[in-house]
Each structure stands twice: as structure tokens, then as C-alpha cells.
Amino acid sequence: MECTTCMPRKSWDLPFLAEPQELAALRRVLRIHLAMWGLPDITPAALLCVSELVANVISHVGCGTPTTLAVSMNGSHLRLEVHDPDTRALPTLLHADLEAEAGRGMALIDATADRWGVELRADRKVTWCELDAGLSSVCIHMARSPVTGVEELLNSYRAKKAPNATGSESEPLALTMAEEAAIDIIADLLRWMQARGRDADDVLDQAQTHFEAETENVTRW
């Protein structure tokens, strides 16, 4: 089966400091990526799992710990990993009482994810979980093109900017609004990267290089 217009869902990772104020930004970035990957159905579960994995680092390793979120596809499953440098503080599945204020994090992940685990490496610990993405196509990582995912993301972003929009705009107006939403998304992402010490121009250069490389690959098909 040949897939001429789709591209793989490529793995990505994001270093950050494990602090409560980082959670909202992490969830926003993950939501954007999953929209572009065409995986809206499992987004709520993925956001919950990431929140609990990061909260576990904050609680048991320490606030401000250098941490990395890694996101990838493992067959038809979305794989979420949180890397931290402490190989001693291992996540434990506890059966906490309903009134308990702590101890339910891994229980929530156990109930939400299809599977989870911990890997110990020489310099870090990797706590991971996987969610069934419901992909049945032979072309598992190409079930939906990035263009389709971006259109869904733009529609969602436009709805937040203009909640009363009816979607009945003429095509030129709709395209203009989509372009404005795309610019807003790019600007928001650049501001987020810049606030974390990344150079906005360097990010744009890398994105342009990535875009040109993928465009060339599609043309070869």
C-alpha cells in the first residue's frame, strides 16, 4: 500500500525544569503536536498522563529538577516518556484512599494508560506510558497527513480567538483567518521557546530546513 501524501509522526523531545508553572506550557505544546499528528481522541488522556508524570518528579525528585519530555509512536501506541536524573526515587503504584491528598498519581496513569513502566539508565530514569492511538491503517504513522492535522489545529485556534464564528466565511476570508491563526500559533510557540532560553531565529531556521527537507521527500514520491 503506497502512501504518497502522508509523512511520519516523528519523535520529539523537550527539556524543561520540573516546576508547577511549567505544566501549563507543556500541556499546550503537547496538545498542539497531537493535533498536528491527528490524534485528538487521546489528547485528554495524554495530557493527564504527562501532568501526573511531571508531578511525580516534582514531588519525589525535587522542584526545579532538569527533566525531559519525549513523545513518540510505538506501533499504534502513543509513547510518553519523562526523563529525570534520579535513579533512586522510583515511581510506585499505590492504592490511595479517595480522601488522600497524595499517592494517586501512578494509580491515575495505571487506570488511563494501556501500559506503563520505568527504565533505569546509566545517567537517568525514564518513566513512560503508552496510549492506544486507535490507528489501524497499514501505514500506521501516516494515517493522516500533517496538512489535515494543521487544518484541525487552525480551526481550533480560530474558534478560541473568535468563539462566535459560524464557519460560513467565503473561501478568501477563511484563508485569511487561517493565515492569521497560523501566525498566532507560530508567534506563541516562539515566545514560549524564547522564554526558556532558545533563540527564536535559530528555531525558525531549523523549522525552515525541516520543512524544505520534508517537501523534497514528498516531491520524490
Output the pLDDT for position 169: 46
CA angle 155, 160, 164 (to 5 degrees): 90
Tens digit of each residue's pLDDT (9 = 90 or more) over 120-130:
998 999 999 99
**172: exposed, middle or buried (Cβ count in 10 Å: 0-12, 13-18, 19+):** exposed
Taking the C-alpha atoms of residue 113 and residue 132, their distance in angstroms, rounded to an integer, is 8
What is the arithmetic mean of pLDDT over 52-75? Answer: 94
Output the pLDDT for position 173: 47
**The pLDDT of residue 70 is above 60:** yes
The side-by-side arrangement of strands in the sheet containing 77-84 is: 12-18, 65-74, 77-84, 125-132, 115-120
Domain boundaries, the chain: 12-132, 145-220
| Most confidently modeled range among 73-82, 88-97, 176-185 | 73-82
What is the arithmetic mean of pLDDT over 160-175? Answer: 52
What is the pLDDT confidence band of residue 161, given thresholds at 50, 70 and 90?
low
Range name among 82-96, 170-184, 193-207 with the lowest pLDDT average: 170-184
143 and 135 Cβ atoms separated by less than 8 Å: yes
Range name among 35-39, 41-45, 109-113, 137-141 with the lowest pLDDT average: 137-141
Identify the residue whose cell numbers are 499546550.
28
Tens digit of each residue's pLDDT (9 = 90 or more) over 82-111:
999 998 878 776 654 444 444 567 889 999
Output the pLDDT for position 88: 87
* CATH number, span 12-132: 3.30.565.10
Give one DSSP letter per residue of 71-135, joined into a string: EEEETTEEEEEEEES-SSS--------TT-SSS-HHHHHHHHSSEEEEEE-SS-EEEEEEEE---
Output the pLDDT for position 145: 52
Output the pLDDT for position 215: 65
